[in-house]
Amino acid sequence: MASGFFVLLDDIAAIMDDVAVMSKVAAKKTAGILGDDLAVNAEKASGFASSRELPVLWAISKGSLLNKIIILPIAFLLSAFLPIAIIIILVLGGLFLAYEGAEKIYEFVFPHKHDESEGITDEALTEEQILELEKGKIKSAIVTDFILSVEIVIIALGTVIEEPLIQQIVVTSIIALVATIGVYGIVALIVRMDEAGYKLIKFSKSEKSPSRFIGNLLVKALPLVIKGLTVVGTIALLLVAGGIFVHYIPFFHHLSEEIKIPSIIKEFTVGLALGLVVLLFVNLFKKIFKKKTA
């Protein structure tokens, strides 16, 4: 009886060790999307009045958690009854990520004007108008989060697709939870950097005090941090996409084995190449659609 109990404990410990290892692997695989998720949400959570930043971020966080609650059961059902669908969604998601990364690089090399998204800080607006604009930005952020959440869940699930269903559920759920808490926790710190900086400047006693120096540094660092996250997120998107293509599309898998260069370069190159192809087709479609509607 006692020996059976200890065997059970040993089995549970072994399963937890496996889950920990697989969770680390899944976290590495999803790091690119988490970086992009972080950059996107830091950008979307900024531009509000200081007093509204955290309430807005909390609203987006709840929407993100609801997204995961919707996506996870569907992903597990597909894994149990139609596992090939996971691979198909992975590849399609990889094309989407590659397109996003390639589009960002294209816009950097060939910049063109965009409609500026206005911050919700205009004193001329009524309280009702501000709340309405807030709702619109929150809804947009939650929709974007849904797309990224699908990719996070599917990529995490893809790393454990050959494992027993219970381990798939535990590992993928851990990654989904970390994605929500971790990303939005960091975003909260980022969007409050300037506010913390202003408070340090306000309470500093002299122009050359350390608190004033740190305060100015935090205020100036916020836009640079967001831009830096965008750059890192773009590179990571292409690496994640390229990794999906190299591992799940036989042609690129065999090609990568024949070419003797570091895998990170292979994955980035494949991701960027397919991203540019998708970008070309999307831009052609947009031009054709505009001509038909003109």
Map 216-235 to HEC letters.
Answer: HHHHHHHHHHHHHHHHHHHH
Which DSSP letter does residue 161 get? T
If DSSP codes are grouped into helix, strand and coil, which group holds residue 68?
A: helix
pLDDT at 23: 55
Tell me the residue type at 114.
Answer: H
**Both tokens assigned to 154:** 């599917």
Whether the pTM exceeds 0.85: the reply is no
Interior/surface letters 65-101, b for 16+ CB within 10 angstroms, e for the rest: bebbeebbeebbebbeeeeeebbebbeebbbbbbbbb
Q: What is the dihedral of CA 35, 145, 169, 233, to 10 degrees?
A: -10
DSSP per residue over 173-242, as a string? HHHHHHHHHHHHHHHHHHHTHHHHHHHHHHH-SSTT-HHHHHHHHHHHHHHHHHHHHHHHHHHHHHHHHH
If DSSP codes are grouped into helix, strand and coil, which group holds residue 113?
A: coil
Q: What is the pLDDT along the chain (294 residues), one digit of tens a residue?
A: 444 433 333 433 444 444 555 555 555 666 666 666 676 666 666 666 666 777 888 888 888 889 989 988 988 888 788 878 878 887 888 888 889 889 989 988 887 655 444 455 445 566 676 677 778 878 877 877 787 788 788 878 877 777 777 878 888 888 888 878 888 888 888 777 877 888 888 777 777 778 888 888 888 887 788 778 778 778 877 887 888 888 888 888 787 777 778 888 888 999 999 999 999 999 998 888 877 776
| 247, 87 contact by CB (below 8 A) | no
